[in-house]
Structures are given as structure tokens and as C-alpha cells.
Structure 1
Amino acid sequence: MGALIKAEFRKIFTVNLWWALLVPVAVMSFGAGWLGSGFGTISQLEKELGQPLPLGLLTVSLSTNYSTAFAAVFGGLAVAGEHRTRSITTTYLTANPRGSVLAAKFVAYTGMGVLYGLVNLLFSSLGGLVGAGFDGFGDPGDWFAVGAAGLLAMVLWTLLGVGFGALVSSPIAVIVSLLVYKFVFEFIVTTFMTGSDAPWITAYLPGSAGNGIVGNLAVPVFISAVAGTNEPDIPREAFEVLHYVFGGTYAHPWWASALTFLGYAAVFCAAGWYVSGKRDIT
């Protein structure tokens, strides 16, 4: 297994895809951290409240929820990319059984998910530092908690992508499906469900659950840091506005979102594993 994992990392770093998708993560994360914490009416709000706003917590959530799309696509091409180049045939023939190949990919791409998560956290924090200084991060414990949730979200999105790519096997289908679902389809469904009799269902959709891993932690922590003992007096609308922008769902715990999305990732990984074992590679 160790040799297969090394081979997977060798495949990853031999081509340019890993950094071609990592660069936008760094740029987007820095921009979200900087713009989210350095502009608007923030200075005026801080004067009125008499304290700095820990907006760095929210911008980490914002950058993560967009950057995970790149991690998902990167993971999705782990298997689908080999089908495009036909190298999957050689891979399976020289590394039987097929399940060991998929297992090695899951391990290798877990590591790459951590890398993507660290880059996202680093650059969103740098952006927040430029925009608001050290005061924009609040309590270090809160920052580490939100950052850890961001790492978890990035890893799970990467693994979901690997499973989905193994299931679909077409690079174009992987890219289009992941991006359209995450940014278009679920947005439409969520908008429709918000006005229905069961708006709580949206918290259990894949995109909302993935975004909620960070958003459902960052938003309550942010409000708690700002409001302090007056948190019970904060209207629900304030939470909902922040969740709408930075991800997550009102009154839904982050760990529930993590477990929900873990379930989706596990289903796709299992389905990809099964289909890959049966698919004709000739």
C-alpha cells in the first residue's frame, strides 16, 4: 500500500493540475479575507460598539465555502482524469486489486485536501490581517476552531470529489456537475425551500451541509464574541443574514453539518469504489 500511495503522490505532482487549482484558492482566500474585513462600514461599527469585530472568523468561512469547489474538482479528476488519458488501464493492471488503487487515492487526496485547507486558511488569514490587523481575529481559540473546521470541510469535499469522479469517470461531467450543483442548482432549491413549510430541509442538502461545517461554527462564535452576555437579545434575522453571506443555517450545529456531509462523502466514495471495480477498462 505504501508504494501505491507514493505512486499516487508522484502522479499528482508530475502534472500541473494540483497547483493550477491551488493558485485560485490562494487568490480567492486572500481576497475574501482582505475585502471582507477591510471595507464597508466596519470602522464605524467598531466605533459604535467600542470594540474590534472578529471578522476574520467569518472571512475564513466565506473563503472556505468557495475554495472547496476547487478541492472537489481536484479530487474528482483523480480517477476521471486517468480515464481521459487511458492511464487507468495500466494503473489497474499493475496494481491489482482495484480496491487498493482507490484506497491509495483516498489516502493521497486526503493529504492534498489538508494542503488545500492550509493554503486557504493561511491566505484568508493574511487577507484578514491586511484588512483589519490582529484585532480582526478575536480570541485565538475561536480562530483555531474555525480554522480546524475549514480543514475538515476541505478534506471532505476533496474525498467526495474522488468518489464522484470514480463514479462518473468523465472529467467534463465531473467539473460541470460539481460546479453547477454547488453554485446553481442548490441555490435555486434553497431559495425555493426557504419559502416552503419545511425550510429546515435545506440544512441537509450536500452544499448547505458542506458550507455549514464552517459557517455554523463561525457565525455563532462571531455573534457571541461581539454580543457577549447580550447574545440572547440578538434577533434571528441577524443570524440569518450572516448565514446567507458566510454559509450555514440558523440554529443548526456545525457538527450536525459535518456528520451530514460525511455521510454524502461516504456514499459517493463507496459508490465510486463499487462502480470502479465493475467498470470495463479496455
Structure 2
Amino acid sequence: MGRLIRAEFRKTLSLHTWWVLIIPLVVLSFGFSFVWGRITNDFVGYIGSGTAGELARAVGLDPDAFPVGLLSIAHGVNIATLVPLIFGVFALAGEYHSRTITTTFLTAPNRVSALSAKMIAYLVWGTLYGVLSFGVSALATLITVDSEGLPTGPQWLGAFGGTVLVSVLVTLFGIGFGAVLNKVTLAVVLLLIYFLAVENVLVLMLWDTTTVLGGILPNGTANGIVGGIAADAFGIDTLNLPGAVETWEQYGLQMAAGAPGVFSWWASALVFFCWTMVFFVAGWAANQRRDIT
């Protein structure tokens, strides 16, 4: 197994994909955290003093002491998850596209061993992308957010752990989705359209009817891991939201955390883990039977 894992790393390092994708990861995570860091410095003005006072009483904080840096980090790392998501697509679909999958399967004792080695290697890649994404977002947050709005030590650690977790899960999600479709371009295009547009529009259009879609669909639950940590700190997650908050006010507040409809970070992690396993297991099963000749 060790040799198979090393072979997977040699394959990915021999291609340009891993470092080319670092460029948009850095740009997106820094850019979004920088912009939202500027915006959320005036968070009380953003949500209104009345709402700010109500939230402050609910979480026992002075409104001026809200850890708005968490909102900045959440937006940066959430958009950056698109990078490990796309990278995961190349794990299997990319090998079928380049016709290297035959060598991969024939040089391993069996397909289970080959796919297990690939999974382990890409878990490491997902972790590395998560660490980098958090580091860049944290830097932008430190630059833009006033000192009284920076997260506490435990909140920094929570955001870091959440970023690594979601990065690993979206990598596995990308592997499974790419393996099911078995076409790199189609998988990447569909994922980008869905994660950037389709689900966001669906949640917005149906918000008056139901506010739970963002808490159960893939994009919302992926965003809700780190976004949920921010929402928990402000008491604006759905499980702790003050009852006096109006429906559309809830959308604005949770949007500030980058996760409209979020129940809580742990609920988001659990639901997105289930989505990940659905596609990962489906992709795994498909490649146990797929012809490589």
C-alpha cells in the first residue's frame, strides 16, 4: 500500500494541476476575506443597531466586540473550497481522460487497493489545500479587521479545523462526482454551475417558502461548516436564532456568515459528510465494474 500511495503522489506532482490550482485558491481566499473584512468592521451598521443589540444580548457580548473576523474567514475559505473540489475530479476522471487508469489498475494487486491509495493521497492534498486556504484568509483578516473584532484563540482553532475538514470532504466529493460521470470537463462545469449559481438561486427564490434548503443541500452544508462556526459565535445559526428575527433578516444575517439556512456547524458537517459518502461510494462502485480496455 505504501508504494501505491507514493505512486499516487508521484503522478500528481508530475502534473501542473496541483500548483496551477493554488493560484485561484490564493486569489479567491485572500480577495473574499479582504473584502468582507472591510465590510464587517462596521457589522453593527450592516445589520442595524436594534438587531445588533438583540444578538449581543443573546450571546452575552458587546456589539462592538463581535468576532467579525470569523465572517471574513468564512467567506474566504468557502469560495476557496471550489479548488479542492475541482482537484478531486481529476483523481479518477482525469486518469480515464489521460488513459493512465489502465496502468494504475494493472500495477496494483486489485482495484480496491488502487482506489484506497488514491483516496489516502487525495486526503493529504485536501488537507494541504485547507491549511493554505485558512492561512491566506487569516492573513487577509488580520490586515483588514480591527483588533477588537478578531476571533479568540479557540475561535481561530475552530475555524482552522473547520477549514481543513471541509477541504478534505469537498476533495472526496469531487473524486466521487468525477468518478460517477467519468468526464473531467463535464464534471467541472456542472459542479461550478451548481455550487456557484443553481443552489444559491434556488435557496434565494424559495426562502419565503422554506429556509431549510441551505441547511440540507450540498453547497449550503459545505459552506455551513466554517460559516456555521461564525454563525454560532453570533447566535445567528438557525438552532439559536432569536425568535424576533424576521425571515429575510435571517437570510441577511446568515448570508453575512456565508451560509444562509445554516442550522449549526456540526449539523452542516454531518449532512455534507452524508452527501460526500453518497457520491464517493457511487464513484467507487462504478469503478469496480468499469471497463479499462
Shift of 1:202: 3.7
Q: Is residue 212–residue 248 contact of structure 1 (8 Å, CA) maintained in 2?
A: yes
Structure-to-structure mapping, 1:252-263, within 5 angstroms: 252-263=263-274
Cα displacement (A) at 1:33: 2.1
Q: Which amino acid in the other structure matches residue 67 of structure 1?
A: A
With structure 1 as the length reference, what TM-score do the two structures score? 0.88
1:66 equivalent in structure 2: 79
Q: Which among 93, 99, 104 is matched to residue 91 of structure 1?
A: 104
Alignment of 1:186 with 2:199, yes or no, is yes
Q: Deviations over 1:197-238 (max 9, x none)?
A: x432441111111111111221231458xxxxxx95983565
Higher helix residue share: 1
Q: Retained in 2: the 8 A contact 1:216–1:252?
A: yes
**Greater mean alpha carbon deviation, residues 115-124 or residues 181-190:** 181-190
Query: Paired residue for 1:152?
Result: 165
Q: What is aligned with 1:214?
A: 226
What's the CA shift string for 1:228-277, capped at 9, x where partnerless?
xxx95983565431312432245612111111110111111111111011
Note if 1:169 corresponds to 2:182. Answer: yes
Cα pair 1:37 1:136 within 8 Å, conserved:
no
Q: 1:30 to 1:41 in 2, by over 3 A?
A: closer
Amino acid at match of 1:273: W
Q: Which segments of 5 or more consecutive residues in structure 1 lack a partner in the other structure?
A: 225-230
Q: Deviations over 1:28-87 (max 9, x none)?
A: 1112222221357739959x9784552221111111211111110100111111111101
Q: Note if contact 1:60-1:150 (Cα within 8 Å) is conserved in structure 2.
A: no
- Farther off after superposition, 256-265 or 243-252: 243-252
- State how 1:19-98 maps to structure 2 within 5 Å: 19-39=19-39, 42=42, 51-98=64-111
CA distance, structure 2, for counterparts of residue 234 and residue 150 of structure 1: 31
* Aligned residue identity for 1:235: V
Q: 1:80-119 counterparts in 2 under 5 A?
A: 80-119=93-132
Deviation by residue 1:172-203 (Cα, 9 ceiling, x = unmatched): 1111111111112212321232122x432441
The aligned amino acid for 1:13 is: L
Count of aligned positions: 274
The 1:43/1:181 distance shift into structure 2, 3 A limit, reads: closer
1:235 corresponding residue in structure 2:
245
| Separation in structure 1 between the aligned mates of residue 67 and residue 40 of structure 2, nearest angstrom | 15
The C-alpha deviation readout for 1:94-150, integer Å capped at 9, x for no partner, is: 113112111111111111111111111101111111112544423111121122112
The one-letter code matched in structure 2 to 1:206 is P
For 1:14 and 1:147, how far apart are their aligned partners in 2? 29
- Match 1:126 to one of 135, 139, 144: 139
Amino acid at match of 2:226: V
Q: Matched residues in 1 for 2:81 and 2:43: separation?
A: 30
Q: Secondary structure at the match of 2:109?
A: coil
CA distance in structure 1 between the aligned counterparts of 2:263 and 2:180, rounded to whole angstroms? 30
Identity within the alignment, %: 35
- C-alpha separation between the residues in 1 aligned to 2:66 and 2:245? 18
- What is the aligned partner in structure 2 of residue 264 from structure 1? 275
Match of 2:152 among 123, 139, 158: 139
Moved more, 87-96 or 36-45: 36-45
Give the match's secondary structure for 1:33: helix
Q: Deviations over 1:149-185 (max 9, x none)?
A: 1211111001111111121111111111111111122
| 2:88–2:175 CA contact under 8 A, matched in 1 | yes
Q: TM-score, normalised by structure 2?
A: 0.85
> Superposition pairs for residues 8-27 of structure 1, below 5 Å?
8-27=8-27
